[in-house]
Amino acid sequence: MQRLVLAFINSMRALKHLAQHEKAVQQELMLFILAIPVAALIAPTGLSFLLLTGSVLFLIMIEVLNTGIEATCDAVSLDFHREIQIAKDCGSLAVLISVILVATVWVYTVWSVFFF
């Protein structure tokens, strides 16, 4: 149980840091806060609500991992290295794929609710 409590404390420390210092995470947290009531209004089912809000949480998770990759790369070296560029670009691609997923889930749901 103590291990779970310590893991939770570490996670909250990371969330606090990201929410204070990372613009992308700040924007995505605001998106999530806005997504909850909007999803509650437009989701035809509980599963749809979970998909709408879960997709945004998935985006936040990928952004957190991307930030971790960037921080690790910067801790290794601030000089240009092709391998570090590839690692950072891969993290960025993961975020882009997540954004596409969020957009697809939201557009599909809105389309199916209002146009079917």
Q: What is the pLDDT of residues 14-36, one digit of tens each?
A: 999 999 999 999 999 999 999 99
26 labelled ligand-binding: yes
Structural domains of the chain in order of their starting residue, each with its CATH number: 23-115 (1.10.287.3610)
- Active-site residue set: 63
Question: Can you tell me the distance from the alpha carbon of 61 to that of 46, in angstroms, rounded to the nearest whole number?
Answer: 22
Q: Could you tell me which of 69, 64, 68 has the C-alpha nearest to residue 98?
A: 64
106 labelled ligand-binding: yes
Question: Can you tell me the distance from the alpha carbon of 15 to that of 63, in angstroms, rounded to the nearest whole number?
Answer: 12
Q: What is the pLDDT of residues 71-102, one digit of tens each?
A: 999 999 999 999 999 999 999 999 999 999 99
25 labelled ligand-binding: yes
Residue 80 identity (one-letter amino acid):
F
Q: What is the pTM of this model?
A: 0.94
Banded model confidence at residue 116, pLDDT cuts 50, 70, 90: confident
* Cβ atoms < 10 Å from Cβ of 87: 16
Q: What is the pLDDT of residues 55-66, one digit of tens each?
A: 999 999 999 999
